[in-house]
Amino acid sequence: MRLLKTLPLVLALAVAALLAPAGAQAASPGVNIAGAPTPDRVTEAIATGAKQVRIFALWKDFEPHARGEYPSNEVNLANTIKVYDDAIRLLNAAGVKPLFVVTEAPAWANGSADVNVPPTDVNDFADFLKRFAAHNKAVGPVAGYEVWNEPDENVFWHPGPDATKYTAMLRAAYTAIKAGDPAATVVAGPTTGNDYAWLENLYTAGAAGSFDVVAVHTDTSCLDRGPDEFYREDGRLARFTFLGYRTVHETMDAHGDGGKPIWMSELGWSSTNGGPASCIRGMWTGQKPSGVSEGNQAAFLAKAYSCLANDPYVTQADWFTLRDTTGESVDELNHYGLLRTDGTGKPALNAFKAVAQAGGGAAGPCGDFDAPSVRIVKPTPGQQFVDKLDLSAAASDGGVGIARITFSFDGGQEIRNYTDGLVNDAPVGLAPWQGSGKLAMGAHTVEVTALDKNGNTTKQTVSVVKVASLAATLTPAFKLKTKKIKCKKRVCSVAGSLSRGAIKAAGPLPSLGGKVAVEWQFRNKKKQWRKLVGGLKPANKAFTFKAKLKLKGQWRVRLVYLGQAPYKKTASKYLTFKVR
């Protein structure tokens, strides 16, 4: 158990879907118990239907004074040993095995009063584990031995995590445990969350071959999202998302350990039912609830086992924890139990019993991993262009919704991101994309990538070709705002725009490129029209031309589109007027 970040808010989920008979791939359900494994605690754990019970075995309690002290006939030590021996026998009689997490160093071994400081000599720890495994072998079957607890964080490993030092401990422990019991299962110290980066560091430090199982803990602080909700980091399922164990497995597989199992030796949700800002641990302090309702705790439990059943490499999952407590300084930590402090069962107890009876439960849908669809409107496949391209595309997602649409070109060179107000199948884009005017002649690729809120992505591409010239085949139309020219102090103006709307063509039309010119013409005494004033404006924008006309008499004006393929040159009708 560990205090760290989680993400906010989820809907309640149903338990019933998990009650179908489980397939062989389902994770075996287990449960954690706190403190020494006394008969009453063990009996309570057995009553849940758990197939594995995770128990802390504190090295300092077995060898408080010196190396080699275990096993001992000294009364206090002998009584401690008997409690564990009796627990093994009681569990085995019910068809259950204990998982021992061996942690906390005695002062003689680490030179400190701090039990979370690892031993100075890893061989001291290994020597104890050898004798502990050999002793337990003679008592009854044990599920396995976790080598320390959450060594990847500074709560249980002081002063701070050190992959090299932990790897040295793990390697020594593996050899020793196998010497004590060749059939024993050695579990790499469980990580806080699905800490695949830590596991990568262990491989780098030489841990390969020194464990049979990788363990993870997903009961992170102030957890209020269901197991099927997730986020990504660098494109991978993140450490602090429940399903991040899949990234742990990817890491194992990359190092040749894909055939080894993962044990989720702690999973759980606290039933604090706290207010929206009740979290007081980790990065979300004051920004989210400290836990969930008892109903959601049960629903998330059922859903978690349903999720795990999709991944056969997760073979064991132990709920944290059996019974609520009252002594934790942070109240969130007091409410992870299947049982309340008075021993009465929460809804989670019945949910756990149902999963256990079903052998772990049936696999069910878990998380939205469907990528969004993308529809590119512009440009069209194979489109040729001279000057600039229009960009337009839409995305749709039937799950969590669209988070981002990105336009890029020629292998991921970003053009623009769109994130605000995205609606399914509603196009966004640029008309035109100014940067396309700077592209070199020849073939190019426009890419559109859609990202949903779970980080699932889809990319569609379209090929285009920039050419020096195109046949002009389309004729645009002028829309003049000015129906009658008015002049003020001989300053006259004409306004309007050039439209593609009058053109009938299959498919989307490119933006208008090129320029619009104005021709102010004066009728002289010979009754000839002479062009006296001109000017240019971009054709793809609305325009207003103004001119100060000094000569009195008859004038006319027209607008001329100079043409840029695929659009032909065209002109508006003349507007005639007088200047007084």
- Give how far Cα 369 sits from Cα of 194, 243, 356, Å: 19, 11, 28
Q: What is the mean pLDDT of the chain?
A: 93
Task: State the distance between the two ends of the chain, measured CA to CA, in whole angstroms.
Answer: 91
- How far is it, in rounded angstroms, from Cα 510 to Cα 392? 11
Residue pair 422/405 in contact by the 8 Å Cβ criterion = yes
- SS3 (DSSP) at 539: coil
Q: Supply the angle between the helices 122-139 and 75-93 in degrees, to the nearest 10.
A: 50
**Is residue 311 domain-shared with residue 388, that is, in the same domain?**
no
**What pLDDT is attached to residue 21?**
39
Q: Domain total for the chain?
A: 3
- Domain for residue 264, yes or no? yes
User: pLDDT at residue 29 above 80?
Assistant: yes
User: pLDDT at residue 9 above 80?
Assistant: no
Domain that holds residue 265: 16-357
| b/e code 75-96 from CB counts within 10 Å (16+ = b) | eebeebbeebbebbebbeebeb
**What pLDDT is attached to residue 482?**
82
**Is residue 251 domain-shared with residue 157, that is, in the same domain?**
yes
Q: Could you tell me the sign of the dihedral formed by the alpha carbons of 283, 288, 294, 299, in that order?
A: negative
Q: Which are the contacts of 342, defined by CB distance < 8 A and separation ≥ 6?
A: none
Tokens of 534: 């001109």
User: pLDDT at residue 13 above 70?
Assistant: no
**Is residue 242 domain-shared with residue 310, that is, in the same domain?**
yes
Task: Render pLDDT for 382-434 as a digit per residue (tens, 0 to 9).
Answer: 998 888 999 999 999 999 999 999 999 999 999 999 999 999 999 999 999 99
**Is residue 339 domain-shared with residue 380, that is, in the same domain?**
no
Average the pLDDT over 439-459 and give the result: 96
User: pLDDT at residue 23 above 60?
Assistant: no
**Is residue 392 domain-shared with residue 290, that is, in the same domain?**
no
- How far is it, in rounded angstroms, from Cα 535 to Cα 560? 10
CATH code of residue 561: 2.60.40.2060
- Domain for residue 38, yes or no? yes
- How far is it, in rounded angstroms, from Cα 169 to Cα 353? 37
Residue with token string 């019993």:
353
**What pLDDT is attached to residue 16?**
39
**Is residue 309 domain-shared with residue 377, that is, in the same domain?**
no
**Is residue 130 domain-shared with residue 247, that is, in the same domain?**
yes
Single residue among 326, 357, 388 that ends a domain in this structure: 357
- Domain for residue 10, yes or no? no
Average the pLDDT over 460-465 and give the result: 96
Q: Supply the angle between the helices 245-254 and 196-204 in degrees, to the nearest 10.
A: 20
- Domain for residue 472, yes or no? no
Average the pLDDT over 336-341 and give the result: 98
Residue pair 32/319 in contact by the 8 Å Cβ criterion = yes
- Concatenating the DSSP letter of every residue in 472-488 gives --B--EEEES-SS--EE
User: pLDDT at residue 487 above 80?
Assistant: yes
- Domain for residue 431, yes or no? yes
Single residue among 290, 323, 357 that ends a domain in this structure: 357
User: DSSP assignment, residue 563?
Assistant: -
Task: Render pLDDT for 492-517 as a digit per residue (tens, 0 to 9).
Answer: 999 999 987 655 555 667 788 889 99
Residue pair 306/14 in contact by the 8 Å Cβ criterion = no
User: pLDDT at residue 342 above 60?
Assistant: yes
- How far is it, in rounded angstroms, from Cα 333 to Cα 338? 13
User: DSSP assignment, residue 135?
Assistant: H
- How far is it, in rounded angstroms, from Cα 164 to Cα 422? 47
User: pLDDT at residue 14 above 70?
Assistant: no
Average the pLDDT over 281-308 and give the result: 96
**What pLDDT is attached to residue 4?**
35
Task: Render pLDDT for 377-391 as a digit per residue (tens, 0 to 9).
Answer: 999 999 988 889 999
**Is residue 159 domain-shared with residue 222, that is, in the same domain?**
yes
Single residue among 466, 491, 517 that ends a domain in this structure: 466
**What pLDDT is attached to residue 501?**
61
Specify the higher pLDDT residue, 512 or 302.
Answer: 302
**What pLDDT is attached to residue 509?**
74
Average the pLDDT over 45-59 and give the result: 98
- Concatenating the DSSP letter of every residue in 365-408 gives --S--PPPEEEEEESPTTEEESS-EEEEEEEE-SSS-EEEEEEE
User: pLDDT at residue 82 above 90?
Assistant: yes
- Domain for residue 2, yes or no? no
**Is residue 386 domain-shared with residue 342, that is, in the same domain?**
no
Residue with token string 């040749």:
256
CATH code of residue 301: 3.20.20.80
- SS3 (DSSP) at 497: strand
- SS3 (DSSP) at 490: coil
Task: Render pLDDT for 109-144 as a digit per residue (tens, 0 to 9).
Answer: 999 999 999 999 999 999 999 999 999 999 999 999
User: pLDDT at residue 159 above 70?
Assistant: yes
Tokens of 416: 């623009």
**Is residue 94 domain-shared with residue 137, that is, in the same domain?**
yes
- SS3 (DSSP) at 2: strand
Q: What is the dihedral of CA 177, 182, 184, 188, to 10 degrees?
A: 50
**What pLDDT is attached to residue 512?**
83
Share of the chain above pLDDT 90, in %: 87
**Is residue 57 domain-shared with residue 147, that is, in the same domain?**
yes
**What pLDDT is attached to residue 503?**
57
**Is residue 158 domain-shared with residue 297, that is, in the same domain?**
yes
Specify the higher pLDDT residue, 252 or 283.
Answer: 252
- Domain for residue 505, yes or no? yes
Of 21-35, 132-146, 358-372, 550-564, the least confident = 21-35
CATH code of residue 453: 2.60.40.10
Q: What is the dihedral of CA 544, 547, 551, 553, to 10 degrees?
A: 10
Specify the higher pLDDT residue, 541 or 89.
Answer: 89
How far from chain centre, in Å, is Cα 195? 14
**What pLDDT is attached to residue 551?**
94
- Domain for residue 365, yes or no? no
Tokens of 257: 């350990």
263, amino acid identity: W
Tokens of 48: 């849940």
